[in-house]
Chain A
């Protein structure tokens, strides 16, 4: 008899998740109909190849994929603005990209996001094409202090209330009405219960809810199109490898709440509050990852790391402020059967000894400017290495240079398994022949003998 989810060990949970990935369903819940036996074989081989790499075993060959930023859009001759407002075009661009380059796995076309949705909510945290950047540029973050230093206690005591009543109205103009809402935890008994609901009768709050309904409808429209192309690519043999997203607690506070400068000040002026807030955020980030994996049935949880890079903070600061809560998120995700897929943007050369302290064969680390030979030596027996074809080489180099670099990666990082060939950082602009060279060469040279 099959064990209940809560009775399973982390290993059993992970295995159950992989089995789910290997037996994909269509939106009606029936077995997915592949377009050919070859497509079905390719789909399953790719999943198994990834599983082997994650579990640090040699597979038939080195898995290869491409995790781009806006490259599929530009490659298809479209602008970021076009695909943010025309979801069919977006789907077409990502489909063309996958079919032309044939990476083992893909990550869908949700990256550009729905432009109209952002307009409805008047999103202020980002500039996007036509709203602060030109049609040819992708969206870019507008950092600010969206949480003031004196608001730490509010965040710590009730993060959801802080997010709803303070943070969200600051980054979404249309959510201004949220500032008028009382805490949900005040709804307790007959006496006075109706008082809690008065704000919902006021025009600003009602306008906010109208905007939410409209935004929700738009998001649904968008995700239906993106889900459609994802399903189609699966039937053609290209599995989507991403099951969800979460963040390092330090980045959650530093990227979106306090901003880079704000969190730096806090490291000196109010380190205790920062530590407390990191502790508050940690279970929320864990829940976000576990919840996403349950919802999508896919255990791979993407975690882009921003402020932990070794050029940014010192090793001491990393060990004090960044790593403890990141590690707690990683461990809890593993405990829940997930595979944290951590994108270590920038360099992590001086951090390798520190990040070693996690269970073996349970995580993927996308390395950008980290020395892969050194990484293999220090963390190769612990984590699956992903990367690190440089963006500069894909954009400026030649196919021959790309192949030389790929060969070195396969010979060193790829030795004995535990390595996935891919780009090291998200890129928008590249020579298509270079991207092709990376994929094709790996498929040919990366075969394990």
Chain B
């Protein structure tokens, strides 16, 4: 039976996947195993996204199916059963910019892949990033931005991280509509990721997992 839920989820069969979970729970299948299968399904989705068989609609919809599955499993999961997170990542849309679709996808994919994404939201002031790094001890920071004004906000944010003496402690990745490698050099980031799956790969490269 193992693997079937992963297949249903990764093939984006929403009613079938939810039905499967309901039935399995009724038959006494360990909810942790079902959660594991669902995560396996999300890994397949991620792979298909990376190989350009899946695109943003598929990724977003898979997230909705997963949410439905997790909601069904939640009452059956023991408290504290959440697996340990592999690392903390501070992430947000930089000052002046309120675009969140891309950033939210990155947060979601980091979460699915076992990271603890500390989402600071949108239009995040420079100091808030610095404070969050200090408070959390994060070693990876993600800066998102869609507008040309975000280039300077990213630069200001990274400069502030430098001034706070934290630059050596963190790896910084950036992303967003007009972001490319030139912007990466301009703002002084460590890497640019073109989509949510690349962000996960960058985080895995830096933290492991």
Residues in chain A within 8 A of chain B (CB atoms): 69, 127, 132-134, 136-138, 140, 142-143, 260-261, 264-265, 267-269, 311-314, 317, 346, 390-393, 395-397, 425, 427-430
Contact = CB atoms under 8 A, between A and B. Distances in A.
A429 B183 contact: no
Given A317-B55, A429-B152, A392 B182 contact: yes
B148 A127 contact: no
A138 B147 contact: yes
B144 to A, nearest CB: 13
Given A311-B56, A427-B148, A264 B61 contact: yes
Given A396-B182, A429-B152, A136 B96 contact: yes
A397 B182 contact: yes
Contact of A268 (B14, B98, B101, B147): B14
Contacts of A137: 96-97, 147, 149
Contacts of A395: 148, 151
Interface in B151-205: 151-152, 177-180, 182-183, 186, 194-195
B64 A265 contact: yes
A127 B98 contact: yes
13 contacts: A133-B96, A133-B98, A133-B123, A134-B96, A137-B147, A138-B147, A260-B60, A260-B101, A264-B56, A265-B60, A313-B56, A317-B55, A430-B148
Closest 6 A/B residue pairs (Cβ):
A429-B148, A264-B57, A314-B55, A137-B96, A396-B186, A264-B60
Given A261-B101, A265-B64, 9 more contacts: A136-B96, A138-B147, A140-B147, A260-B101, A311-B55, A311-B56, A312-B57, A317-B55, A391-B148
Which of B55, B57, B151 gathers the greatest number of chain A CB atoms within 10 Å? B57
Interface in B17-62: 53-58, 60-61
B12 interface: yes
A427 B149 CA distance: 9
A142 B98 CA distance: 8
B98 A261 contact: no
B7 interface: no
Given A264-B61, A313-B57, A396-B182, A143 B101 contact: yes
A317 B57 contact: yes
A390 B57 CA distance: 26
A140 B97 contact: yes
A265 B99 CA distance: 20
B55 A132 contact: no
Contacts of A427: 148
Given A312-B55, A312-B56, A393 B148 contact: no
A314 B151 CA distance: 29
Nearest to A397: B182
Nearest to A316: B55
Contacts of A390: 178, 180
Nearest to B64: A265
Contacts of A429: 148-149, 151-152
B151 A268 contact: no
A140 B147 CA distance: 10
Contact of B183 (A267, A392, A428): A392
A138 B60 CA distance: 28
Contacts of B183: 392, 396
Contact of B195 (A269, A311, A396): A311
B56 to A, nearest CB: 5
Nearest to A394: B148
